[in-house]
Structure 1
């Protein structure tokens, strides 16, 4: 790698930046963090990271449609695929006994979703329903490289969080 690696984004507040941060640290790649004000995105951020132009994560639909059993059933169906994969493999992580790109991509489930569940008091992933995912999340969050990157958990008022998800991801 002859070029300097630059990581654009809001470290400590973006699951996407955290994923890249974890992967770079895991591989021992040196890089420069260029912090971005996400309310006033730079031209470089928009150029190099098109997710900021148009991205609506469907995974938040559950929190935007509280009480909608169909939306919850869809979330469970997708999570069951991951649960089955961990069950079949019988390994600590999706890629075996150490984390890989699949685990890093799923950091949303291990960290960010848990934080949203704590804030909203709406549990999607429980040990009874998804024991393998619960175990995987604990293993993932206990990896040193992950601990070094993820920010401390924080809590936003429940009403504010639910209002945000309803406005952004609720059914029209």
Structure 2
């Protein structure tokens, strides 16, 4: 019996994008179910009743949520093209740095764009910059996963694609080749990888969408 694989998501989500990259890299066929987060489907509420958000990965009617957890599950079930290191210590480090990316980069950088509180924005920009500096020093190879991208690289897709998008919206050049030489080079290598290139969403519609959200938030706060 063939595996039945579904991914509930939205186009333009970095968390959904993580799962799509892993699925493409491993050559797993799946059905993409587009969700509307303003009007959540019964299917989404059934599969993820706790958080009620995407992505939700459904394998033979067994749902799993949270993108980093989904990546681990995919790598354990489909053994080809591993994205996790085989060594237990390096696996633990991969989990650590991926959580670091979510806690110390994704969350504050999002606040730095969409928070209407100026002090919170400044604090978030400082936190993001500090975390990027730490990650810059951690990058020792072409990718975090070595010569081929892996779990941490996929987790860091937000840095490669969404941070440049957001900094263009607010007119700030935080993540540049001058400021973060190794990370910036990594981001170009990662985005130009054939697997990743095929998955990334079109930039212009996303820029327009997030710019609209940003402008509406800041105009209504004045």
Band of TM-score, shorter chain: 0.7 to 0.9
Unaligned runs of 5+ in 1: none
The 1:95/1:71 distance shift into structure 2, 3 A limit, reads same
Residue by residue over 1:37-61, the C-alpha shift from the partner in whole angstroms, topping out at 9 and shown as x without a partner, is: 22211132234343629xx933312
Give 3-state SS (helix, strand or coil) of 2:159's partner.
helix
Contact 2:108–2:125 under 8 Å retained in 1 = no
**Greater RCO (Cα-Cα under 8 Å, separation 6 or more):** 1
Determine which of 133, 136, 142 is the counterpart of 1:80.
Answer: 133
* TM, length-normalised to structure 1: 0.80
Determine which of 143, 153, 174 is the counterpart of 1:124.
Answer: 174
Unaligned runs of 5+ in 2: 55-105
Residue by residue over 1:42-84, the C-alpha shift from the partner in whole angstroms, topping out at 9 and shown as x without a partner, is: 132234343629xx93331222355754332211111112101
Match of 2:24 in 1: 25
The 1:47/1:16 distance shift into structure 2, 3 A limit, reads farther
Match of 1:57 in 2: 107
Shift of residue 140 of structure 1? 0.5
Shift of residue 36 of structure 1? 1.3
Match of 1:102 in 2: 152
1:57 and 1:34 map into 2 onto residues whose CA distance is 26
Give 3-state SS (helix, strand or coil) of 1:126's partner.
coil
Q: Say whether 1:5 aligns with 2:5.
A: yes
Shift of residue 120 of structure 1? 2.2
Runs of 4+ displaced beyond 3 Å? 46-49, 65-70, 157-167
1:161 and 1:44 map into 2 onto residues whose CA distance is 27
